[in-house]
Structure 1
Amino acid sequence: MTQMPDISTAGLAVVFLIAALFVWLAGTRLALVGDEIAERFNLAKDFVGLIFLATVTSLPEIVTTVTAARVDNAHLVLGNLFGGITMQTAILAVADIFLVRYALTSWPRKPTYALLAVMLIALLSMLLCTTFLGDVEVLYGIGLGAILLSAGFPLVILLQRTFDQKESWAPVDLPDEEERAQTLRSRLRSPEVSSTRRLLTEATAYSGVIIAGGTALALSADLLAARTTLGASFIGVTLLAAATSLPELSTTLAAARIGAYTMAISNILGSNLIMLALLLPADIAYRQGPILNEATEGAQLSISAGILVTAIYAAGILIRRTPRYLGAGLDSWLVLFVYGASIVALYHLA
């Protein structure tokens, strides 16, 4: 990624921040558009979060992954993907602390979210084993592990939709979702009802902004990594993963503010599943062999942290009566602790 060689380090930082701002604003609006789409077409909000929001907010990861892989920067690719899993899960903790009166994991009515988390843990465990044992090249430098892990996303979605017909759980301390949703919409949107065409136009426009911003984030982060002593792996896990997670952060916080907690949770879990699905296009774009064979100790640490934070929230969803401390569930505080500890460990490895 050498398209901006004449820009100074300060200029790169400005480009990075401007792109991040546009991605943030577009992501915030997407949550509101997604909520209206769910109501307009009578769709479950968890389904909208899992498919629509998770896919659109993952556009920066898609852009940065393919762009970095095409220039053979495997460490930046893997750092961004694997570091983003832990970071995006920590976004739920942020929403729990600032925007949810009850423990976030007490909201789900069905065990579907626990199933999603367990399947994500299984796929991450397979991924970790592959990085230790090494991927097997199948064709044109593409690894078998990348193919199988990418195929896990549609299989998990199919399993989730099948299991979704099971009997509901009884919610615990359920907040008044509709009252909070109407309050926020009255502040953030005009009173008239948007037409279906306008909703789809807005969704397309915001998606385009995220694609453009994600491209700028990838280019500037790659050059910033080249100009520092921290290296592409650490930059990918921290700086780039944080920037490309801005759509997930903005949409998740916006969804929590309107009381659409299930949409917020499914958005993050779905985005993490898409991270694994991106291994195949990354492997195709990377021409030096199976990309998972380039995984460093930092990438393996990020995968382990992703397994741990996902397991914490899976337990919280199953328990449901998670105790709250200082405005958030205990599980959210544990997730933030694991995320912070992983960043410190990654810094020492770098």
Structure 2
Amino acid sequence: MLPASVGQARRMTMPATSLTSSLLIFALCAGVVWFSGARLAYLADTLSDRFKLAKSLVGLLLLSLATSLPEVATTLSAAINQAQNLVLNNLFGGIALQTAILGIADFWARGAITNYPRKANHALEATLLVLLLAITLIITTTGETVVVFQIGAGSVFIALTYAGTIWILRRYDGSSDWIPVDLPDTQDRPFLATADDDKTTNHALILQSVVACLAILVFGLLLVLFAERIAVQSGLGTSFIGVTLLAAATSLPELTTSITAARLGAYTMAISNIFGSNLIMLVLVFPADILYRGGPILQGASTTVSLALSFGIVVTAIYLTGLIVRRKPKVGVLGLDSVLVIVTFGASLLAYYYVR
């Protein structure tokens, strides 16, 4: 069940709906977010070409932030409503799911998607993500021992580590330590490209990107609202829903942008989009801790939270291995690392259900 304060807030802002209506509205909002996210990926790819920006940098800093807007709004809203479990399960439950999205995007790559990056910065992204996940897991396991103004020192340390991570990645982005692999960089652009796009001005493309971001934010928040409502109406509760349906709802922009990026051949942007989004999920703990007045938000975290962080480490480590091993076996059209990540994500759902 939702906390009373959250449930009351939802009832005041939205009219009552049946479970069937909630599911239909959820599906409608998902469709809008899907199209907006796909269009945003195309616009980001086009703008990166026009402004001569590295696609990995665009994915890490711009696309990941845009697709994380629903998570940002949901996290801060839940923290204001003092819904600790909803905040942590939504943030950390989405990490394994978003990483599994790369496995789904692998269906559209010509060869394993982790074969494509020409530089070691993606392996560095994965390494630093594992580091930040491990730090967060240690903090949640041991509990906050230093508290200042009801804010835990752990969340502050996570924020500082995130800032250092971004600084390192930006400095390293210009490196070319790895030898390029002879693989295609681009593919035919999908249906999202129109005949007039090549003639569209940069100003118009930026305006379209802003509109797409707003659509992702508004309809992404509606997805979250109805995911919470489905949690109550179905009787499954917010702990299980938080790491499954709610995490899936807020991760939908990452899904559509990553698949579209893979279809465009912008594989480095797809990978950085996912790793960048996962890093944002972790740093959001800090503002959530500021807004949560019940003490340090990481204190007394549930078993589900620790499981989510552990599975996040596992799936990221699998892709880190895939990025280092340049030529790897395939299972059908997927790289072996993608298959292992998808299987691990499936195992995580069973684990979440078991401890719910």
Alpha carbons of structure 1 residues 219 and 336: separation in structure 2 relative to 1, 3 Å = same
Query: Match for 2:57 among 47, 50, 54?
Result: 47
- State the shift of 1:242 in Å: 0.5
How do 1:204-223 and structure 2 match up within 5 A? 204-223=210-229
Query: Match for 1:306 among 301, 312, 334?
Result: 312
The answer to whether the aligner puts 1:233 opposite 2:242 as a matched pair is no
Q: Distance in 1 between matches of 2:89 and 2:236?
A: 12
One-letter amino acid of the structure 2 residue matched with residue 140 of structure 1: F
- Counterpart of 1:66? 76
Query: Match for 1:106 among 98, 115, 125?
Result: 115
SS at match of 2:244: helix
Deviation larger for 161-170 or 310-319? 161-170
- State the shift of 1:144 in Å: 1.3
Task: Give the TM-score, by structure 1 length.
Answer: 0.94
Deviation larger for 262-271 or 210-219? 210-219
One-letter amino acid of the structure 1 residue matched with residue 283 of structure 2: A
Consecutive unaligned residues of structure 1, counting only runs of 5 or more, are none
- Counterpart of 1:327? 333
* Contact in 2 for aligned 1:102/1:173 (Cα 8 Å): no
* Contact in 2 for aligned 1:45/1:260 (Cα 8 Å): yes
* Contact in 2 for aligned 1:74/1:294 (Cα 8 Å): no
- Counterpart of 1:21? 31
Task: Give the TM-score, by structure 2 length.
Answer: 0.93
- State the shift of 1:207 in Å: 0.8
- Counterpart of 1:133? 142
- Measured on the aligned residues, the alpha-carbon RMSD in Å equals 1.6
Q: Distance in 1 between matches of 2:175 and 2:285?
A: 32
Deviation larger for 285-294 or 110-119? 285-294
* Contact in 1 for aligned 2:224/2:249 (Cα 8 Å): no
Paired residues, what number? Answer: 345
Q: What is the CA deviation profile of residues 298-342 of structure 1, one whole-angstrom value per residue up to 9, with x for unaligned ones?
A: 111111000000000111111111111111111111101110001
- Counterpart of 1:12? 22
Task: Calculate percent identity across the aligned residue pairs.
Answer: 46
Alpha carbons of structure 1 residues 229 and 187: separation in structure 2 relative to 1, 3 Å = closer
Query: Match for 1:266 among 257, 268, 272?
Result: 272
Consecutive unaligned residues of structure 2, counting only runs of 5 or more, are 1-5
The answer to whether the aligner puts 1:151 opposite 2:156 as a matched pair is no
SS at match of 1:227: helix
* Contact in 1 for aligned 2:152/2:289 (Cα 8 Å): yes
SS at match of 1:289: coil
Q: Distance in 2 between matches of 1:173 and 1:299?
A: 41
Q: Distance in 2 between matches of 1:137 and 1:6?
A: 43
- State the shift of 1:167 in Å: 2.9
- State the shift of 1:186 in Å: 7.5
